[in-house]
């Protein structure tokens, strides 16, 4: 379905209300740039006591434990568990192939992105959205806080399908320019003729907590086509002439299953969480149920 | 090599097109029926000929099929474009499939080539190319179809003839292309509609063209025709001609008869008269065990009609209609005649039939009297044959009705129409009968004599005057204009030259002649004479000797000896000696001896002179002084002979004699001498103008329709003067008890052979064209299914 006709708004208020109760979970503890609501590796200023250490010159006198000084006549600094913000990267594929299906895969990806971004914003995480096709097309600067929601929405709304896809190049660029560590959610159909392996390796190398959500249209999963066709690739106008027959369809399904299994295995081996979904799966269920099961949100 | 591999598909298509081209050209030539020259050329060059085995439109469809297939193929190539997110998986799938099946890349193209090849074979199979000079065994068959009147009965739908035609067509279908068939249609005559041919379309056309006639059935002629056409006798030395009982030492070496084993299919209701002995003697039937090389007819009888109830057919009919002149009662008017009509009726129902018969009397075209009588015709007697050798006892009930007609004017034209009133039966053609009672045609006789008391007595008596008008001349008149005018105009029917003849051959009259004691010029009466010759009749059954039993009693003083060669004048003899083919060569006529003496010297003989007959009597009746030279004039045979002479050579027609013929039989009209033409009206009101021929008679053969044929004789060319001429007529009647008995016969008898109608056997129909069609359908279906479901 063309991008011009959007079936639904990205997020409706009721759904937003339910999302408010969720938060993003990272299986890794990262260092944040600014204090946030997450426990950081670093000790910092929070209410949660962590340890004591000897005062050294230059420490903030506000953290001196005066009670201990009175008892032991020695200066101790109270160390607290630092609570930090989280880098939450949303990588969205906007190549032409995402402009397919009803609703389009891109729209579906936008909805997921909006939902996840909202959760991130509510939890004071640093939400970064990167849009790519064969290169990183557009980036939304990191935003935090609920009040940035409109910016996120605005940004998502403006994403239009364009260009061919090149996962490898795009992710390479992303890994090189992004500084922080955190959660990376890759929203794409993963249909790259050059393969996804190298691209994902870039992410793995940066030790991101990676989630790959493969979005496929129902037409891709179970093609209802007939007759003699000339299939034209929407991205590179590559043609494939087929005469649809039962064995061919069977072979296609097998290949698709094999492709997804291959992707799944690749991800599992590298600690990447993989989730395949179709545009027919209700979006709220995906977020509230599937992503919860996968442990992205809680 | 690589180029070949790359372009093999195009090359194969081109090769196929090249192979198909001759076939296509041949088919098109045949479709436009201009295949004669090419067939001849093929026969001379390659010993082959061809024809189309399918009807033209099917062939045309077949021709278009390869084109359609190619079109479909190329249409299939025009795939619908469709956008997909990625062709990535599709390509992979297609490749996978390709890897799975060997030569997959060849598959669809090979299929197309194969299909085209199959179609090409089909086209050539349809062409039916035949190799000549091969030893292929061919059968010969003759289809004899009865189209007589009784075949119009509708006991099988739509009628017997149509049924017979359908059966005959099936027989043609069952024959192969190498079999030779012939079509003979028979009624009272037999006609070959199609001589031996293996072109079955011609045979079918001949069968389809057969129509019903109203004629009776005579199978004899048809069988003899079939026999002669099936097995023409090629040599008298044939084995088939060898008499059975020849002593061994007299046996001659006979060659094996090259008879053709011929199956004769007779499609008839079996109702025809028994075959005559002569016909049976000439016919040679072949049993199933006989050597087919001996020839002979293998008869198969196909019964047209249904045999629901043997011995009962719903029909009554008139089988005889005759009229006699009653002796004229002196008290009645002299110019009136009293007629007695007889109608004989037959009933072929199993129960008696009460019928009412009406007789309408038309005088000069107007209905004057209508007589009616009722009669009960007894039931038919029918006993089926018990043994195979016996015939069924089948006697239709018969009854006779006599009508005494009121006295009618003698000279008027009278037509009698006899018919059943309110009679419903299956066969209507025998429910009517007609008779024409016309005026007496008198012979016009010219007698040239010096005086002959016998002739005077003969022609001046009242009885003779009723049938002949005689005129007298003397030999001296022969040189006069009056004679010449009469002789050349053909105004007389018979000229009697008594001891005189015209000097010149050219002065002989355009009429039959009786020459007494003189041969006709250019022959001369020789001096050789026979004294007291013995009278022997050469041909007892000659019409001129009808009723003459006392020829032997005639005595004559002398008779001149005639030899067709020796008595010829010197000039004519020279012409006769000229070689045959010479413009002036004279062919001598045959002398037909009627009465002869012991050494075959003719005493009374006939010679043909163009359309006329010269009858020569070699002895005088009286001498010039009136003395008696022969006692014939005193014998009872003399007036009888002259009576015959007047009827035959003088063409007397006393009307009640021959006024009815069977349909299809020729009717001889003998108008008055000197007529110009005859205007004839058939029962269906067709007007036919029959011009005069050299003879004073007209043979009218178009008598297929039952009913009254009326005609007027024009003495002048002007048609308007016809109005005043008397109307005459003749009738065409079925009057055939075999046709009236419409019940079909389950078996026919030829001599001692009984041929039973064939049991209903399964026809070996041709199914190759259906198989052909099936192949085509299968191929196309396979193609569609393959493209839709299986293939890539």
CATH number, position A120:
3.40.50.410
Question: Residue B276 has what pLDDT?
Answer: 77
**∠ Cα A264 A269 A271 (to 5°):** 90
Enumerate the residues of chain B whose CB falls inside 8 A of the CB of residue A235.
85-86
How does pLDDT run across A129-171, given as a tens digit for each residue? 999 988 888 888 888 888 888 888 889 988 999 888 899 999 9
Nearest by CB to residue A242, choosing from B83, B90, B787, is B90
- Chain A partners of B784 at a C-beta cutoff of 8 Å? none
Structure tokens at B491: 């105004």
Chain B interface mutation, best of A255, A258, A279, highest count of B Cβ atoms under 10 Å? A255
Contact B86 A193 (CB under 8 A): yes
A170 and A123 in one domain? yes
Q: Is the pLDDT higher at A81 or at B467?
A: B467
Which of B466, B434, B321, B493 has its CA nearest to residue B729?
A: B434
Q: Which of B40, B63, B65 is nearest to B52 (CA)?
A: B63
Contact present, B729 and B683 (Cβ < 8 Å): no
Beta-carbon count within 10 A of A235 CB: 27
Please name the residue that has the structure tokens 């012991």: B598
End-to-end CA distance of chain B: 27
Radius of gyration of chain A (CA): 23
Per the CB < 8 A criterion, the answer to whether A41 and A30 are in contact is yes
Dump pLDDT digits (tens) for A179-194.
777 889 999 998 888 8
Asked whether residue A146 falls in the same domain as residue A267, the answer is yes
How far, CA to CA in Å, does B560 sit from each of B213, B524, B616? Answer: 54, 10, 11
How far off is chain B from A131, nearest CA to CA, in Å?
A: 18
Contact: A220, B791; criterion CB under 8 Å: no
Contact (Cβ atoms closer than 8 angstroms) between residue B370 and residue B359: yes
Does residue A5 register a pLDDT over 70? Answer: no
Does A3 map to a domain? no
Q: Which of A84, A117, A147 is the last residue of a domain?
A: A84
What local confidence, expressed as pLDDT, does residue A23 receive? 72
Shortest distance between the Cα of A6 and any Cα of chain B, in A, equals: 19
Closest-CA distance, A214 to chain B, in angstroms, reads 14
Q: Kindly determine whether residue A259 and residue B89, on different chains, have CB atoms separated by under 8 Å.
A: yes
CATH 3.40.50.150 is the classification of domain B316-439: no
CA distances A254 to A221, A262, B89, B97, B332, Å, are 10, 12, 10, 12, 123
Contact call for residues B467 and B475 (beta carbons, < 8 A): no
Chain B residues touching A238 at Cβ < 8 A? 87, 91
| Secondary structure letter of residue A121 according to DSSP | H
Q: CB distance A191–B86 less than 8 Å?
A: yes
Instruction: List residues of chain A with CB under 8 Å from any CB of chain B.
Output: 96-98, 100, 105, 189, 191, 193, 217, 219-220, 225, 227-235, 238-243, 245-248, 251-252, 254-256, 259
User: Quick check: A35 pLDDT over 60?
Assistant: no
In degrees and rounded to multiples of 5, residue B514 shows phi and psi of -120, 120
Q: How far is CA B708 from the centre of its chain?
A: 22
Contact A251 B96 (CB under 8 A): yes
| B interface residues, A as partner, C-beta within 8 Å | 76, 79-94, 96-97, 787-792
| C-alpha to C-alpha distance for A27 and A296, rounded to whole angstroms | 9
Strands B612-617 and B602-609: antiparallel
- The verdict on domain B140-233+256-307+745-761 having CATH code 3.40.50.410 is yes
A279 and A198 co-located in one domain: yes
Give the model confidence (pLDDT) of A15-34 as tens digits.
Answer: 877 777 777 766 565 544 45
Number of Cβ within 10 Å of residue B783's Cβ equals 19
| Pairs across A and B, CB distance < 8 A | 100
pLDDT of residue B39: 79
H-type alpha helices, B564-651: 570-577, 637-648
Domains: count for chain A = 2
What is the distance of C-alpha B403 from the center of its chain?
36
Contacts with B94 from chain A: Cβ below 8 Å: 240, 242, 248
Q: B65 CA to chain A: closest CA distance, Å?
A: 22
| Range A224-243 average pLDDT | 82
Q: Do B82 and A239 touch (CB under 8 A)?
A: no
Q: Do domains B140-233+256-307+745-761 and B443-635 have the same CATH topology?
A: yes
Domain boundary among A68, A84, A100: A84
**CB atoms B90 and A252 under 8 Å:** yes
Q: Is residue A4 part of a domain?
A: no
Tell me which residue range forms the domain holding A118.
13-30+85-294
Residue B788: DSSP 8-state? I
Q: How far is B49 from chain A (nearest CA, A)?
A: 45
Residues A126 and A270 in one domain: yes
DSSP E strand stretches across B119-243: 130-131, 140-146, 180-186, 190-197
CATH class for the region spanning B443-635: alpha beta
Percent of chain A with pLDDT over 90: 17
CA atoms within a 13 Å half-sphere pointing along the CA-CB vector of A16:
14
Which candidate from B79, B84, B789 shows the least CB-CB separation from A233?
A: B84
Spatial separation of the C-alpha atoms in residues B342 and B324, rounded to whole Å: 8
**8 Å CB contact between B207 and B241:** no
Residues in chain A: 298
Q: Is residue A237 part of a domain?
A: yes
The Cα B783–Cα B777 span in angstroms is 10
Tell me how far apart the terminal alpha carbons of chain A are, to the nearest angstrom.
32
Low-confidence ranges of chain B (pLDDT < 70): 47, 74-78, 98-111, 125-138, 230-261, 284-296, 326-337, 387-391, 410-411, 438-440, 653-659, 672-674, 696, 721, 723-726, 751-752, 758-771, 778, 782, 785-792
Nearest C-alpha of chain B: how many angstroms from A79? Answer: 55
Cβ neighbors of B170 (< 8 A, separation 6 or more) are B763, B765
Environment class of A120 (CB within 10 Å of its CB; exposed 0-12, middle 13-18, buried 19+): buried
Q: Which of A84, A102, A117 is the last residue of a domain?
A: A84
Q: How far apart are CA B684 and CA B326, in angstroms?
A: 32
- Shortest distance, CA B787 to any CA of chain A (angstroms): 7
Task: Count the alpha carbons within 13 Å of B382 in the hemisphere toward its beta carbon.
Answer: 18
For B484, residues 6+ apart whose C-beta sits below 8 A from its C-beta are B507
Find the closest chain B residue to A251 by CA distance: B93
Judge if A224 and A257 occupy the same domain: yes
C-alpha A200/C-alpha B638 separation (Å) is: 145
Query: What are the residue ranges spanned by the domains of chain B?
Result: 2-79+92-97+105-134+775-790, 140-233+256-307+745-761, 316-439, 443-635
- HEC sequence for B661-691: ECCCCCEEECCCCCCCEEEEECCCCCEEEEE
> Nearest residue of B to residue A258 by CA position?
B89
User: For residues B261 and B293, what is the distance between their CA atoms, to the nearest angstrom?
Assistant: 6
């Amino acid at each position: 379905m063309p991008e011009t006709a959007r079936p639904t708004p990205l997020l409706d208020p009721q759904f937003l209300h339910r999302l408010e109760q969720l938060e993003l979970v990272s299986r890794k503890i990262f260092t944040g740039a600014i204090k946030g609501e997450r426990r950081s590796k670093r000790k910092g200023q929070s209410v949660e006591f962590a340890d004591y250490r000897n005062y050294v010159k230059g420490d903030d006198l506000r953290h001196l434990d005066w009670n201990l000084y009175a008892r032991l006549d020695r200066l101790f600094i109270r160390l607290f568990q630092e609570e930090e913000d989280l880098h939450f990267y949303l990588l969205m594929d906007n190549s032409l192939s995402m402009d397919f299906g009803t609703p389009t895969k891109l729209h579906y990806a936008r909805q997921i992105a909006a939902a996840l971004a909202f959760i991130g914003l509510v939890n004071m995480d640093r939400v970064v959205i990167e849009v790519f096709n064969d290169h990183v097309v557009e980036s939304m600067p990191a935003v935090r806080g609920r009040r940035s929601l409109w910016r996120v929405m605005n940004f998502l709304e403006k994403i239009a399908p364009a260009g061919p896809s090149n996962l490898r190049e795009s992710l390479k660029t992303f890994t090189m320019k992004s500084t922080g560590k955190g959660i990376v959610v890759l929203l794409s159909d993963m249909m790259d003729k050059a393969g996804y392996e190298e691209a994902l390796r870039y992410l793995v190398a940066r030790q991101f907590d990676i989630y790959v959500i493969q979005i496929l249209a129902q037409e891709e999963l179970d093609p209802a086509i007939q007759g003699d066709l000339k299939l034209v690739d929407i991205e590179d106008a590559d043609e494939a002439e087929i005469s649809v027959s039962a064995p061919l369809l069977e072979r296609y399904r097998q290949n698709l299953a094999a492709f997804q299994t291959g992707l799944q295995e690749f991800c599992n081996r590298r600690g990447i969480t993989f989730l395949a979904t179709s545009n027919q799966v209700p979006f709220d269920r995906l977020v509230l149920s599937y992503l919860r099961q996968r442990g992205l949100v809680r | 090599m690589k180029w070949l591999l790359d372009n093999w598909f195009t090359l194969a298509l081109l090769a196929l097109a090249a192979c198909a081209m001759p076939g296509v050209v041949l088919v098109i030539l045949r479709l436009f029926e201009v295949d004669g020259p090419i067939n001849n050329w093929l026969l001379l060059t390659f010993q082959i000929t061809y024809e189309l085995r399918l009807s033209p439109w099917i062939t045309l469809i077949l021709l278009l099929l390869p084109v359609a297939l190619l079109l479909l193929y190329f249409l299939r190539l025009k795939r619908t474009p469709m956008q997909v997110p990625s062709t990535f998986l599709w390509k992979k799938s297609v490749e996978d499939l390709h890897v799975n099946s060997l030569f997959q890349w060849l598959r669809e193209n090979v299929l197309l080539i194969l299909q085209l090849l199959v179609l090409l074979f089909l086209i050539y199979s349809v062409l039916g190319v035949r190799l000549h000079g091969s030893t292929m065994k061919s059968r010969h068959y003759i289809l004899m179809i009865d189209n007589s009147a009784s075949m119009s009965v509708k006991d099988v739908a739509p009628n017997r003839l149509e049924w017979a035609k359908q059966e005959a067509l099936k027989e043609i279908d069952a024959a192969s292309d190498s079999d030779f068939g012939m079509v003979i249609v028979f009624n009272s005559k037999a006609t070959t509609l199609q001589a031996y041919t293996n072109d079955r379309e011609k045979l079918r056309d001949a069968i389809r063209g057969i129509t019903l006639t109203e004629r009776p059935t005579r199978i004899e002629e048809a069988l003899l025709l079939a026999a002669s056409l099936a097995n023409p006798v090629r040599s008298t030395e044939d084995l088939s001609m060898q008499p059975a009982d020849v002593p061994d030492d007299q046996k001659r070496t006979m060659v094996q008869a090259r008879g053709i084993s011929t199956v004769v299919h007779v499609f008839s209701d079996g109702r025809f008269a028994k075959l005559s002995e002569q016909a049976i003697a000439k016919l040679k039937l072949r049993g199933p065990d006989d050597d087919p090389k001996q020839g002979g007819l293998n008869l198969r009888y196909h019964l047209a009609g249904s045999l629901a109830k043997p011995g009962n057919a719903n029909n009554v009919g008139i089988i005889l209609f005759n009229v006699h002149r009653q002796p004229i009662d002196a008290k009645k008017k002299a110019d009136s005649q009293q007629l007695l009509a007889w109608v004989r009726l037959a009933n072929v129902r199993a129960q008696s039939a009460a019928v009412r018969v009406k007789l309408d009397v038309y005088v000069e075209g107007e209905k004057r009297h209508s007589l009616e009588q009722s009669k009960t015709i007894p039931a038919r007697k029918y006993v089926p044959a018990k043994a195979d050798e016996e015939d069924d006892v089948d006697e239709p009930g018969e009854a006779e009705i006599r009508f005494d007609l009121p006295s009618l004017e003698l000279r008027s034209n009278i037509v009698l129409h006899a018919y059943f009133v309110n009679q419903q039966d299956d066969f209507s053609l025998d429910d009517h009968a007609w008779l024409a009672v016309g005026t007496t045609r008198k012979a016009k006789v010219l007698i040239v004599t010096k005086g002959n008391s016998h002739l005077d007595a003969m022609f001046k008596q009242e009885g003779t005057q009723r049938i002949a008008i005689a005129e007298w001349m003397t030999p001296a008149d022969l040189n006069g204009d009056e004679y010449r005018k009469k002789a050349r105009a053909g105004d007389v029917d018979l000229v009697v030259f008594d001891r005189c003849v015209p000097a010149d051959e050219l002065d002989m009259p355009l009429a039959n002649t009786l020459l007494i004691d003189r041969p006709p010029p250019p022959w001369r009466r020789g001096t050789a004479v026979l004294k007291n010759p013995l009278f022997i009749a050469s041909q007892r059954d000659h019409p001129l000797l009808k009723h003459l039993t006392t020829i032997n009693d005639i005595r004559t003083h002398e008779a001149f000896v005639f030899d067709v060669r020796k008595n010829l004048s010197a000039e004519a003899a020279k012409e006769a000696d000229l070689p045959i083919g010479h413009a002036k060569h004279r062919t001598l006529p045959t002398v037909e001896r009627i009465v002869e003496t012991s050494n075959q010297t003719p005493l009374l003989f006939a010679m043909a002179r163009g359309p006329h007959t010269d009858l020569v009597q070699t002895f005088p009746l009286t001498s010039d002084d009136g003395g008696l030279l022969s006692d014939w004039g005193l014998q009872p045979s003399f007036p009888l002979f002259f009576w015959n002479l007047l009827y035959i050579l003088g063409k007397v027609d006393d009307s009640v004699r021959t006024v009815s013929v069977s349909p299809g039989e020729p009717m001889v009209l003998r108008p008055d001498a000197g007529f110009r033409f005859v205007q004839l009206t058939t029962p269906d009101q067709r007007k036919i103008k029959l011009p005069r021929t050299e003879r004073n008679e007209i043979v009218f053969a178009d008598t297929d329709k039952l009913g009254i044929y009326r005609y007027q004789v024009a003495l002048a060319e002007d048609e308007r003067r016809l109005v005043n001429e008397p109307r005459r007529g003749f009738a065409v009647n079925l009057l055939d008890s075999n046709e009236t008995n419409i019940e079909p016969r389950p078996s026919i008898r030829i001599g001692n052979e009984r041929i039973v109608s064939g049991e209903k056997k399964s026809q070996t129909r041709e199914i190759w064209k259906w198989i052909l069609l099936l192949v085509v359908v299968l191929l196309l279906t396979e193609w569609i299914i393959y493209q839709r479901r299986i293939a890539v």
